[in-house]
Structure 1
Amino acid sequence: MSEARPLALIVEDEALLTLLTESLLAAEGFDTIFAVCETEAMAQAAVADRITVAVVNLHLGDDVAGQRIIRALRQHAPNLPVVVITGFDNDAPQADLRGLGWPTLRLHKPGGYDALVPAVLNVMEQVRTGARPAGGRRHTDHNV
C-alpha cells in the first residue's frame, strides 16, 4: 500500500494565485483542496485533522477573514502548520498573527510565492521536530 500524499488546504480568492499555489505544491507531491471564502474554509475545518498544511490569504473578498479561519482550523488540529500569504504590511493590524498558534509563517504577496515551498516545508518540519523558531514572532515573518 502506498503512503498517502500530504494534503494542503489553499484558502485564496484570486484564481490565478490559487493555481500558482496548487502548481507549486503539486510539484512537491502535495494533493490540494481549496476554499475561496470563509464559509468554504470553515467547512474544511471539519476535516482539518486530514490536512497536512494550510496556505491562507488573510484578505478574502471584502473581508479580513484569515485569522478566523486559522483559529477554526486549529480548533480541530491545534498544531496545524500554516503559511499566511498577505499583501498587508507586517505591522498592519489586519496582519497580526499573535494568538493564532504555532507554527505559522508569513509571506508577503505577491513576491512571497518564491518562498512558498520552503515556508511550507519549514512549518511542517517545526511540527515534526517540535522545534519552535528562536527570537519571537517577527523573526518568523518572511519579508519577500
Structure 2
Amino acid sequence: MIVEDEALLCLLADGLLAAEGFDTIFAADETEAMVHATAAADRIAVAVVDMSLGGDVAGPRVIRALRQHAPNLPVVVITGFDGDAPQADLRGLGWPTVRLHKPGGYDELIPAVLDVMEQARTGTWPQEWRRDTDYV
C-alpha cells in the first residue's frame, strides 16, 4: 500500500514496487488510507506512508490505523522533515518501521521495503537501534 498525496511520487513508488513484483493499492489522503486499512488489511504486506498528507502530519494516524488491523505490518515512512523535527518522530508507532528522507529516499525504497519485511519475518530489530545493555 502506498499512502502519498503527490501523484508523481506515488507513481515513482508504484513503478519501483511493481518492478519487484508487488501489486499496489493507493491512498492519496488519510480518509482513503483508513478505508483501505479496514477493507484490505489482510492483503497489505507492506505500507509506504508519507508523513505529511495534504499539509497535515497525518502519517502517524495512518500508521496507527493500519497497525490496529495488522500489528506487525512493515512500514516504510517517507518524510521531507529533518530527522530531528518533531513531525518526523516515529516513537510510539510500532515496529518494524524504517524512515527514508523525501525525495531522495526513493532511491533506497526497495532495499528499505525488503529490509523492513525481513525484520517482520524474522522478528529481528536492526542492531543500530539496540542499546549496549541489550547485548548483555
TM range (shorter): over 0.9
Match of 1:27 among 9, 19, 27: 19
Q: Unpaired segments of 5 or more residues in structure 2?
A: 131-136
Distance 2:74 2:42 in 1: 11
**In the alignment, which residue of structure 2 is the partner of 1:6?**
none
After superposition, the CA RMSD in angstroms is 1.0
Match of 1:43 among 35, 38, 61: 35
Structure whose residues are more often strand by fraction: 1
Q: Unpaired segments of 5 or more residues in structure 1?
A: 1-8, 138-144
Match of 1:121 among 114, 128, 133: 114
Aligned residues, how many? 129
Question: Does the alignment pair 1:72 with 2:65?
Answer: yes
Distance 2:91 2:122 in 1: 22
**TM-score, with structure 1 as normaliser:** 0.87
Identity %: 78
Match of 2:87 among 87, 90, 94: 94
Deviation above 2 Å: which 4+ runs of structure 1?
Answer: none
Structure whose residues are more often helix by fraction: 2
**In the alignment, which residue of structure 2 is the partner of 1:107?**
100
Shift of 1:134: 1.8
